[in-house]
Amino acid sequence: MSMQLTINGETKQIDAGTVRELLVSLALDKQAVAVEVNREVVPKKLHETTPLKEGDTIELVTLVGGG
């Protein structure tokens, strides 16, 4: 089920029904990622069950450690 989403300001066609599926499709599922859907933060424990719909605006921020 491909849909148009705006991810970090860029419009993309994505085949994902949930936040978790989106992260897997973008190869971000193994990283620490903060997710916001339509300006609402989605906690990691809800990634599996939070649905995405056509036209959603998503912000993804990967966390990078360093020193």
Domain layout of the chain by residue ranges:
2-62
**Cross-strand partners of 52:** none
What's the pTM?
Answer: 0.90
Does residue 40 or residue 65 have the better pLDDT?
Answer: 40
Helices and strands in the chain: count of H runs, count of E runs: 1, 5
Token pair 């989605």 is found at 42
Pairing of strands 57-62, 2-7: parallel
Pairing of strands 10-15, 33-37: unpaired
Is the pLDDT at 60 greater than 70? The verdict is yes
Specify whether domain 2-62 bears CATH 3.40.50.10070.
no
- Predicted confidence (pLDDT) per residue in 4-58, tens digit: 999 999 999 999 999 999 999 999 999 999 999 999 999 999 999 999 999 999 9
Token pair 């809800």 is found at 46
Is the pLDDT at 67 greater than 70? The verdict is no
Q: Which of 36, 44, 49, 34 is nearest to 9 (CA)?
A: 36
